[in-house]
Amino acid sequence: MTDDLIDRLAGELKPAPKRAVSRKLGMGVVAGALLAAIAMLAWLGLRPDLAEAMFGMMFWWKFLYTAAFVGLAFWAATRLARPGGSLRNPMMALFALIVIAGAGGIAQLLIMPPEMSRLLVMGGSALVCPFYIVALSIPVYAATALAMRRLAPTNLPAAGLAAGLLAGGTAAWVYAFHCTENGMPFLAIWYTTGILISAIAGAIVGRWALRW
């Protein structure tokens, strides 16, 4: 029985494509990001002052922070999509990224006059921002999870966490094209909250969504 199987498998062997893990995951993320972008455009719309905002610093801070999150979470996901992969190094890098954003937020609060603090922290959309990020992360998570199931995650909660971070980061990047907030503290608190909620949900759902 087993010998027949081995004969069959050896008979149909083809050279393995290189970099298959990052290619499959990358395709999943791009597909998910497209879905999230369509949802954002149809549901929320681009910020009306986008062209103007692109000349300001804050738009690019949001762009860079969320893009860095996507990059690090992608690194985590490529590790966890392989048998025996570990989360440790990517998680430390992600933690450092959040600390940097938090330090930026505190610096801005110290530089700006105290009567600005409330606006910088809460803006006008503090509570809906994490909600929108989590909602937009759902299609990205679905596409990423489908890609991951075709690979071989063996620690499902950790792989789900990585997929959730990736989905949350991508959703936050997409959401930044809608959001008109201008505070570093706002970015550090509410964007991060949305991404982390997506990550926790991803870890919980991953236990069964990532079975293969």
Partner 1 sequence: MTTAPDTEARLKPLMLAALAGDKAAYRALLGDLGAHLKRYFARRLSNPAAADDLVQDTLLAIHTRRDTYDPAQPFTAWVHAIARYKLIDHFRRLKLRTTLPLEDDAALFAPDETGNATDRHDVEAALGTLPDRPADLIRQVKLEGASIAEAAQRTGMSESAVKVAIHRGLKALTARFSGGADDR
Which residues of this chain interact with partner 1, rule CB under 8 A? 1-3, 5-7, 9-11, 13-17, 20-21, 81-84, 151-152, 154, 211
Smallest distance from partner 1 to CB 18, Å: 9
Smallest distance from partner 1 to CB 104, Å: 35
Q: Please identify, using beta-carbon distances, which residue of 16 and 42 lies nearer to partner 1.
A: 16
Best CA proximity match to 194, nearest among 141, 157, 119, 147: 141
3-state secondary structure of 127: coil
Smallest distance from partner 1 to CB 206, Å: 14
3-state secondary structure of 177: coil
Q: Please identify, using beta-carbon distances, which residue of 12 and 115 lies nearer to partner 1.
A: 12
Across 50-121, where does the E strand assignment appear? none
Residue-wise burial string across 173-195, b where 16 or more C-beta atoms lie within 10 A, e elsewhere: bbbbbbbebbbbbbbbbbbbbbb
Q: Rounded CA gap, 9 and 157, in Å?
A: 31
Q: Please identify, using beta-carbon distances, which residue of 101 and 156 lies nearer to partner 1.
A: 156
Q: Please identify, using beta-carbon distances, which residue of 56 and 83 lies nearer to partner 1.
A: 83
Q: Please identify, using beta-carbon distances, which residue of 27 and 35 lies nearer to partner 1.
A: 27
> Are the beta carbons of 163 and 145 closer than 8 angstroms?
yes
Distance of CA 34 to the CA centre of its chain: 14
Smallest distance from partner 1 to CB 159, Å: 11
3-state secondary structure of 110: helix
Helix axes 57-80, 88-111, angle to 10 degrees: 160
Smallest distance from partner 1 to CB 203, Å: 17
Q: Please identify, using beta-carbon distances, which residue of 6 and 99 lies nearer to partner 1.
A: 6
Smallest distance from partner 1 to CB 15, Å: 4
